[in-house]
A and B are shown apart, each in its own frame.
Chain A
Amino acid sequence: MAIQISSRVPLNSSLLEVRGLSVNFETIDRSVEVLKDVSITIGKEEVVGIVGESGSGKSTLAQAIVGVLDIPPARITKGTILFDGKEIYPQRDNNYNFRGKGINMIFQEPLTSLNPVYSVHDQMEEAVNIGSPTKDKKEKEEIIRKSLNEVMIRDVDTVLSAYPHQLSGGMRQRVSIAMVLVQKPNLLILDEPTTGLDLIIQRKIINLIMNLKREVFSSILLITHDLAVAANMCDRIYVMYAGRTVESGKMADVLHSPLHPYTAMLRNSIPEGYSSSGELKVSSGSPPDLRHLPKGCAFNTRCPKAMDICKEKVPELKVRDGSREVACWLYD
């Protein structure tokens, strides 16, 4: 007999809560820790960014939240995920179906999230059936056309009868946004939504998402490697390195006064001025190989401010100034 636990009352107004999530990738000869004790919260109507380089675990986190992580090789060793006050991992309350109307995701490469053998119209219809299943056929048709119009597709008829491979990259991404739009999710997860798109299209998609957010979505989780994109979209960010959160806080605070040396380095990596503005301040070394992490803080080999203790013990994520967290011995 299933135990009734859905009556749990949310403690605060946060929409998504990930508590102490740890994920391992297990192969025949070893087990690699990809996420280590990661906790994030997303408030209602908040845009939260997760920023990090390759190997930071940002995509694994998104996949774990949506529940599309490949298990095996992945294994969630620890942690709970609450959505809207209901537990969705490890125990799913009442088989609560959180996907679709609850959490929805847009992937980096829309070609892999669109089905190549169905026309855009058929796929849109499927999405509408999830979003508003009670409507009759005519109304559904109207919703499809309206949402394609909203993502600024002008030639709706051509796009509706097309198959994904016949559309350009920007167009495909718009279709996948339109599909999400008709489902009216409470939380939208964007995994590098504009990487690989042309500049003008990228800017259009970002503006589109932000406008739609005001109308439909209540919250957004943005996953990106680009601090500048995050700066233009997010209210709050988490910076990740080697599977751990190293810093979090309000976007403007983190951008203007980064506490963790890694955040500062990310910030300095993006060129801002002309060549006369001098060398970019980055240290040598590359993003960590999770199989061979250094002892202590994973960033210590690249850190310009590394001390002895950094090579010995991993710093804990500690709260500073109320809204900020940082995991660095400099602030101990």
Chain B
Amino acid sequence: MTEPILEVENLTIQFRVKGKVIGHGGSRRKWKRVLNGVTFSIKEGETFGIVGETGSGKTTLARTLVGIYRPKESYVKLYGRRIDYTKKEDLLLLRKTIGIVFQDPVGSLNPRVTVSDIISEGIIAKGKMSDEQRKEKIVEAANLVELPASKLDSYPPELSGGEKQRVSLARTLIGGKKILVLDEPTSSLDVSIQAQILNLLTRLKRELSISYIFITHDLNVIKYMTDRVAVLYYGEILEQGSTEEIFENPRHPYTSDLIEANISFSSSSEFSEEKVSGEPSGEGCIYKNSCSKRFSACEKTPPYFSYGKGAVKCWLYDYMGERKAGIGR
């Protein structure tokens, strides 16, 4: 439980774009930085949440972790081993260990392949297995995600949204993955189905002791599901820490803006109308254009100030002394 199984250090991803980039200071750069210095680590059996709004880079992060985007320099360590995205065996290890469930179950399941064939895609080294063994494994995986065996011969369009997400999960679990990246797994589902899937994920985590990287914009879900949270804003983690700490004592102005804006049964009617939402800043603190607590120091990029159970990237916490380029543990 002590050693982190996945470490991400200073992950930076940039995409090449044509012409002017709007939204990153507006300068004429040819590269748009989608992730900037993202650092975190995950232990076995832990659920790590990533909250972010549109354009924060959450999906890019998810895709990089499973090797869909392959940065030239490596920033990812798995079981202490640095993953070189250009090496085949490293990529194989990555894919064996980390699975992904996408937001859109329609787009991630081939409509012309039966459910049992989709699930069997997840078995690595399929050739070494007899047909019966394979069949057995598929039924086992379907049971695990509470998918009725009668659905195994159906095609994805015949399934409901919740069942499709269960198929996606079964496909990932059958290969014995240790880390699941869940990219908005419940956003497209009805609320009662979302609750079923959240219950299922909680149960699977307990039974299989797997780790989740749970990516969503829904604060109620993040609060309920995760042990630790990182708040992502235009490619930068502004704050991370234990879930309770973040929700009870949000330190970064952006985090408190988010929590204040969140709608739940107990949400307060207090929400300042004057709150500006400016473009992310290209210089200094990235949130300074929208920040209500902006002061002179914000013209310079803040480092992370750690506070025991977490770290925050904001000059307001300069007094806490300890500065780090990345986020320590």
- Distance (whole angstroms) from the CB of B24 to the closest CB of chain A: 15
Q: B190 near A54 (CB under 8 angstroms)? A: yes
Q: B263 near A206 (CB under 8 angstroms)? A: yes
Q: Which of B54, B199, B224 contacts A273 (CB 8 A)?
A: B224
On chain B, the residues within 8 Å of A273 by CB distance are 223-224
With A200-B277, A270-B220, A271-B221 already in contact, the answer to whether A53 and B263 are too (CB < 8 A) is no
Q: B192 near A200 (CB under 8 angstroms)? A: no
Count, A-B residue pairs, CB within 8 A: 119
Q: A204 near B244 (CB under 8 angstroms)? A: no
On chain B, the residues within 8 Å of A275 by CB distance are 47, 202, 224-227, 243
- The stretch of A33-41, A107-115, A179-187, A276-284 that contacts the partner chain: A276-284
Secondary structure class of chain A's binding surface, majority of residues? helix
On chain A, the residues within 8 Å of B264 by CB distance are 228, 270, 272
With A272-B264, A275-B226 already in contact, the answer to whether A266 and B191 are too (CB < 8 A) is yes
Q: A198 near B263 (CB under 8 angstroms)? A: no
With A53-B190, A275-B224, A280-B195 already in contact, the answer to whether A199 and B219 are too (CB < 8 A) is yes
On chain B, the residues within 8 Å of A53 by CB distance are 190-192
> Complex: how many Å from CA A201 to CA B275?
10
Q: Which of A204, A228, A274, A279 contacts B223 (CB 8 A)?
A: A274
Interface string of A52-70 (1 = CB under 8 A from B): 0110000000000000000
Q: Which of A202, A204, A231 contacts B265 (CB 8 A)?
A: A231
Any A CB within 8 A of the CB of B257: yes
Chain A residue at minimum C-beta to C-beta distance from B227: A275
On chain A, the residues within 8 Å of B41 by CB distance are none
Any A CB within 8 A of the CB of B160: yes
With A227-B191, A269-B195, A275-B202 already in contact, the answer to whether A202 and B226 are too (CB < 8 A) is no
Q: A203 near B225 (CB under 8 angstroms)? A: no
Within 8 A of B (CB), among A178-232: 198-204, 206-208, 211, 225-229, 231-232
> Complex: how many Å from CA A207 to CA B190?
25
Any B CB within 8 A of the CB of A287: yes
Any B CB within 8 A of the CB of A255: yes
Any A CB within 8 A of the CB of B299: no
- Distance (whole angstroms) from the CB of B42 to the closest CB of chain A: 16
- Distance (whole angstroms) from the CB of A247 to the closest CB of chain B: 15
With A199-B258, A199-B261, A201-B277 already in contact, the answer to whether A286 and B226 are too (CB < 8 A) is no
Q: A272 near B277 (CB under 8 angstroms)? A: no
Q: B271 near A207 (CB under 8 angstroms)? A: yes
On chain B, the residues within 8 Å of A267 by CB distance are 265
- Distance (whole angstroms) from the CB of A170 to the closest CB of chain B: 8
On chain B, the residues within 8 Å of A272 by CB distance are 220, 224, 264-266
Q: B223 near A225 (CB under 8 angstroms)? A: no
Q: A226 near B191 (CB under 8 angstroms)? A: yes
On chain A, the residues within 8 Å of B53 by CB distance are 198-200
Any B CB within 8 A of the CB of A74: no
> Complex: how many Å from CA A232 to CA B261?
12
On chain B, the residues within 8 Å of A152 by CB distance are 273
> Complex: how many Å from CA A204 to CA B173?
40
Chain B residue at minimum C-beta to C-beta distance from A289: B160
> Complex: how many Å from CA A152 to CA B219?
25
Q: B223 near A232 (CB under 8 angstroms)? A: no
Any A CB within 8 A of the CB of B162: yes
Any B CB within 8 A of the CB of A156: no
Chain B residue at minimum C-beta to C-beta distance from A52: B190
Interface string of B258-298 (1 = CB under 8 A from A): 10111111110101010101000000000000000000000
Any B CB within 8 A of the CB of A94: no
With A275-B202, A280-B199 already in contact, the answer to whether A232 and B192 are too (CB < 8 A) is no
User: 19 A–B contact pairs at CB < 8 A?
Assistant: A53-B190, A53-B192, A198-B53, A203-B263, A207-B271, A211-B273, A227-B191, A228-B220, A232-B263, A232-B269, A267-B265, A272-B220, A272-B264, A272-B265, A273-B223, A275-B226, A282-B192, A284-B196, A286-B190
What is A's interface to B at a CB cutoff of 8 Å?
53-54, 152, 169, 198-204, 206-208, 211, 225-229, 231-232, 255, 265-275, 277, 279-280, 282, 284, 286-287
Report the 3 A-B pairs with minimum CB-CB distance, sorted nearest first: A271-B224, A203-B261, A269-B195
What is B's interface to A at a CB cutoff of 8 Å?
47, 53-54, 146, 160-163, 190-196, 198-199, 202, 217, 219-221, 223-227, 243-244, 247, 257-258, 260-267, 269, 271, 273, 275, 277
Given contacts A54-B190, A269-B191, 19 further A-B contacts (CB under 8 A): A53-B191, A198-B53, A199-B217, A199-B258, A199-B261, A200-B275, A200-B277, A202-B261, A203-B263, A204-B275, A227-B191, A228-B263, A228-B264, A228-B265, A255-B265, A270-B191, A277-B224, A279-B202, A286-B160
